[in-house]
A and B are shown apart, each in its own frame.
Chain A
Amino acid sequence: MIQFSQVTKRYPGGLTALDNITLGIEHGELAFLTGHSGAGKSTLLKLIAAIERPTSGAVTVNGQNVGRLSRHTVPFLRRNIGLIFQDHKLLFDRSVIENALLPLSIAGFDRREAMKRARAALDKVGLLKRERAMPVALSGGEQQRLCIARAVVSRPALVLADEPTGNLDAGYAIDILNMFKDFHRVGTTLVISTHDERAIQAMGGRVIHLDHGRLADGA
C-alpha cells in the first residue's frame, strides 16, 4: 500500500530528516515507527500524507506518487487517510460532534448520513455522551479520542498516528492502543509513530526503527 523508494528529505538549512529510505507497508498491516526524537518519524508520516514532499526518491500510496501530486489532487489523497496528531488539532470554537463531522462535511456527505456516521465514531471512542460538549471541557485523553474519532469517521483505509499516546498517562494510553487494535482487526492499515515500548509489546506488529534518518532494523 505504501512504498518508499530511496527517499531523502532534507529541510532548508541543511537538516537531513530522512536519508535514503526504502521500505514497503502492506495493506492491513500494523506498523510502529520508533526512534529517538528527531529520528525522522514525523517526517516519514508527513511524506505519506503529502504534507511534505521528498527531496529525492518517490513515495507511492496505492500506486500514486504522492510527492508529485498537484495542489488540487492532494485534498483527495488526504480524504482517504485518517490523521491523528499528538497535539490533537481540534477546533475549539465548535462542539465535539461538529469536530467529528468536519471530514464528512468536507467530503460532501449528506448531513443526515454524516450525523449517523459521526455518532457511530464517537460511540466507538466512548464520547457519544459528550457530543454537545466543547473540546475545551474534555480531558487530554478525551481530546485524543475525539481526534481519533475525527480521523476514522470517514472510514479511511489508512490511518497515520503521530505519537498518539505521547501526552497521556498509562491508563489512557492502553485505552487508545486498544482502539487501534480494533481498527487493525477490521483491516485498516495503521502506521503509528511512538517511543512507548510498552505499547509495542502489548500490541505486537511490525516495528520500523529509525536512527538519525536511517532505517535501523525491522524494515
Chain B
Amino acid sequence: MRSWLAHHVSSFADASRRLLRTPFASGFTALAIGVAIALPASMYLAISNLNRLAGDLPAQPEISLFIAENATQGERDAIKQKLGAHPAIGRHHFISSEAALERLKAKGLADITAGLEKNPLPDAWVLTLQQASPGAMETLRRELAGLPGVESAHADSAWAERLQAMLTLGRQIVLLLSALFGLALVAIASNAIRAQILARREEIEVSRLIGATDRYIRRPFLYFGALQGATGALAALGILVLLGLAMDGPVSRLATLYGSPFRLASLGAAEGVAVLGLATLSSWLGAWLAVSRTLRKFG
C-alpha cells in the first residue's frame, strides 16, 4: 500500500519534471488545448450574458392592458372583475403608474425620470394567458382593448419569444461545439503523449521484461496527460480573462448608451472548476488511449 502510494507520488513528480523539461513543447500543447477550450467556453459566456440581459423580459406571452387616465373608479373595478373571471386569462397583476416609475428608476434611468414634471406612465394590468396560442392571444387582446376605460392593449412578447428561441439554439450550438472540441482535446493530448511514449519506448520494453504490469507502466503517462490537461485549462482561463478585458470596455460603453447598468459577467468559480476538471479528465483519457494502444502493440 505504501509503495503503491510512493509510486503514485513518484509518477506525479516524474510527470511534472518531464513537463517542465520541455517547456516549449509543453507550452504549445497547453496553448492548443487552451484554444480548444476557450472557443466553446467564450461562446457559452456570450450566451449566458445575453440570457442574463434577456432574463428581465417575459418568456411567456403577456398582454399589457393600459388604463385610460380619465377612467372612472367604476370602470376600473369592472375591468378588475372581468380579468379575474375571464376563462382565457391565467395570472394577472396590477402595476400602478407610481410602481412603474419606481421600476424605471431602479433600472438606472433615474436621470431621465428625474427631469419629468409629472408621471407620464399609465396604470396597467399585466396578464398571462391560460393557453398561449397566437390566435387566442390576438382575440383576447381585441376583446380587452374594447372595454370601457381601457386606453390600449399590447401583445408585445413575440420578439421576446424569438430571442428565447435564439438563445436556446445558441445553447444547443455551444453544447455541440463543446463535444466537438472535447474530442479535439482528447486527440491533441493523445498525440502529445505519443511523443512521450516514443521517447520512452526502451523504458517501457525493459520494464515489461522485468515484470512491470500495464498499470505500472501507464501510471506516469496518465499523470502526464492529466497535468497537460490542467495546464491547458489554465491557459484557457487565461485566454477567457484576456477576452473579457478586451470586451468589457466596448460592452460597457454600449450599455451606457442604452442607459443600462449591464456589465459583462465572467466565468464563475464553479464553472472554472468544471473547465479544469473536464480538461484534465479528457487529457487523461487521451493519454490512456495512447498508452494502451502502445502496450497492445508490444503484445
Contact = CB atoms under 8 A, between A and B. Distances in A.
Contacts of B205: 89
Contacts of B4: 108
A51 B210 CA distance: 11
Interface string A103-118: 1011111110000000
Contacts of A72: 213-214
Interface in B184-217: 202-203, 205-214, 216
A51 B209 CA distance: 8
A184 interface: no
Contacts of B208: 75, 78
B7 interface: yes
A69 interface: no
B73 interface: no
Contacts of B216: 106
A152 to B, nearest CB: 12
B7 A108 contact: yes
Contacts of A76: 211
A105 B210 CA distance: 11
A107 to B, nearest CB: 7
A83 B203 CA distance: 15
A106 B202 contact: no
Contacts of B212: 75, 106
A105 B206 CA distance: 13
B86 interface: no
A91 B200 CA distance: 10
A217 to B, nearest CB: 31
Given A91-B202, A91-B203, A110-B2, A83 B209 contact: yes
A111 B6 contact: yes
Nearest to A104: B3
Interface in A88-137: 89-91, 93, 102-103, 105-111
Q: Is the interface of B mostly helix, strand, loop or mixed?
A: helix
Interface in B206-251: 206-214, 216
Contact of B207 (A51, A90, A106): A106
A71 interface: yes
Interface in A57-82: 71-72, 75-79
Interface string A149-164: 0100000000000000
B214 A71 contact: yes
Interface residues of A, number: 24
A51 B208 CA distance: 10
Given A91-B202, A105-B7, A108-B4, A150 B210 contact: yes
Contacts of B203: 91, 93
A49 to B, nearest CB: 8
B3 A75 contact: no
Contacts of B3: 108-111
B211 A78 contact: yes
B206 A102 contact: yes
Nearest to B212: A106
A210 B138 CA distance: 100
B210 A106 contact: yes
A93 B220 CA distance: 16
Contacts of A110: 2-3, 6
B298 to A, nearest CB: 10
Contacts of B207: 102, 106
A104 to B, nearest CB: 9
Given A89-B206, A106-B216, A79 B211 contact: yes
Contacts of B213: 72, 75
A106 B2 contact: no
B22 to A, nearest CB: 14
A83 B214 contact: no
Given A89-B206, A91-B203, A110-B2, A103 B7 contact: no
Nearest to B295: A71
B292 to A, nearest CB: 12
Nearest to B6: A111
A111 B9 CA distance: 12
Interface of A: 49, 51, 71-72, 75-79, 83, 89-91, 93, 102-103, 105-111, 150
15 contacts: A49-B209, A72-B213, A75-B212, A77-B211, A78-B210, A78-B211, A90-B206, A91-B202, A91-B203, A93-B203, A102-B207, A103-B211, A107-B211, A110-B3, A110-B6
Given A78-B210, A78-B211, A91-B206, 5 more contacts: A75-B208, A90-B206, A108-B7, A109-B3, A110-B6
